[in-house]
Amino acid sequence: MKKFLAVIVSVALAAMLLLSGCFLKGEKGETGPAGRDGINGQDVSIIDIYNEAKQHEGNENLTFNEFLQKYLNYTNVELDKKATLQAIMNKSLMSGVSIVSRFSYGSGYYGTSHKAFTGSGVIIDMDKTKGEAWVVTNCHVVYDDTSRNTFADEIYLFLYGQDLKDVNYSVGTDYSIKELGGNYKIPAQVVGASVDYDIALLKVTDSAVLKSSNAVKAEFANDEHVYVGETVYTVGNAASEGLSVSDGIISKDSEYINVGMSDAYPSDTTSFRVLRTSAAVNHGNSGGGLFNTKGEIIAVVNAKDDEADTDNLGYALPASNVKRLVQLMRDTYEAREDNTFVSGVRKAYLNVTLETVSSTAIYNTETERAEITEGVMVSYGSGQPALSYLQYGDLITNIKVVDSANNEKENVAVTRRYTVGDVMFSVREGYSVILTVKRGQSEIELEPIVFNSSYFKNYN
């Protein structure tokens, strides 16, 4: 479900799994006698408590760090870690963008209407001297299959500090995006998008705003897996009020959810593999980065559970999948002489069904993490290319990808079933895939599978 910016709108929240892409903040209403619901209560901040502690001790020279150590039992090491994480979070803010997408509906004969949706994105590559940037976001932030052109007619990005609605920009009654008191709009275009994977790649070209900005790019994490309990934070345009940060942990390292991507067919759903996080995810966070404590992107936020009796159930698309998908989109776009955008992706496939036949968790005393290892077995081979190489019962233990010049592009141990599908995004025509399997009592490396044009499928 999307929420669009309007002058006056009433929002009904359905009890279902919602895309977190767009939001309109309404006025706060009275819900009961004063004080009963906390509406008229006053928030107390840690600074208020700190100032009270100074007065209580009669010591105006009590530093904030001394206060934290004395009253909250923080150690110097903990304070240093928190100061470092704050710096990392603030840098991540500089790679985030708020997104406003404008769609048109209807035909010229019946008249045209418009809507504007909001979301988030993260800069993953940039040449500031050229005013050029590549931005990843969710497909549903720039996609509506009931609109005239399916994808947004206009897309504008706003950097941190320049993204406050009704301060830096406004949305008019005709849903046009207007600037207030400065030139902050950064036009962007969709250069790659996949509904099936809910990812879109945007490109910014020759932006004067970007050239003069202090924006930075973010990096994807290299790790194939994340682990439960890892501290993470989101950067996104929550509630359409500009970029903000929320922190939490990884609650579940991998699961599947079904989300409705179609406004034309609301009952249709698409399945996504996601991470679950306790970090706050709200409407407008869609497309924003989920970062680890190194400031690396480990996922892209795309949904939340909006059931009335659930809390802290946010979902994000894993970086192991997204980074490869985005690179495929970029390579495909740059390979076209006219640089035209075509929706969907063309992905290599093995044409085989994989089954998880065992799953074990161990506590790794070196990494201090609970690590899951799955046995990934070939259960069915429906055709080429896998049929000539793999046999029923083979356990895949490693997947390697080399290009046509025999340069290694990927070499990944297969300890989870999803690994094989993620790595296949890196295969291009002419590349080879080399699988290592356990067959019977022996582990063998199979002959390279050379991928020709018939070993690719089109995905929406």
* Residuewise pLDDT in 10s, the chain (460 residues): 344 443 322 222 232 455 664 443 333 333 333 333 333 445 566 677 778 888 887 888 777 767 766 766 667 666 566 668 899 999 999 999 999 999 999 876 778 899 999 999 999 999 999 999 999 999 999 999 999 999 999 999 999 999 999 999 999 999 999 999 889 999 999 999 999 999 999 999 999 999 999 999 999 999 999 999 999 999 999 999 999 999 999 999 999 999 999 989 989 999 999 999 999 999 999 999 999 999 999 999 999 887 756 777 899 999 999 999 999 999 999 998 887 888 999 999 999 999 999 999 999 999 999 999 999 999 977 788 988 899 999 999 999 999 999 999 999 999 999 999 999 999 999 999 999 999 999 999 999 999 999 999 999 9
Burial of 351 (0-12, 13-18, 19+ CB in 10 A): middle
**End-to-end Cα separation, the chain, in angstroms:** 19
Q: Residue 339: its pLDDT value, please? A: 79
Burial of 375 (0-12, 13-18, 19+ CB in 10 A): middle
Q: CB count, 10 Å around CB of 10?
A: 7
pTM for the full model?
Answer: 0.83
Largest CA distance in the chain: 81
- 113-127 and 4-5: which strand pairing? antiparallel
Helix (H, G, I), strand (E, B) or coil at 33: coil
Q: Residue 131: its pLDDT value, please? A: 97
Q: Which residue has the tokens 């994480």?
A: 85
Q: Residue 82: its pLDDT value, please? A: 65
353 vs 341: CA distance, rounded Å: 31
C-beta separation of 145 from 263 below 8 A: yes
Q: Residue 36: its pLDDT value, please? A: 33
Q: Residue 44: its pLDDT value, please? A: 64
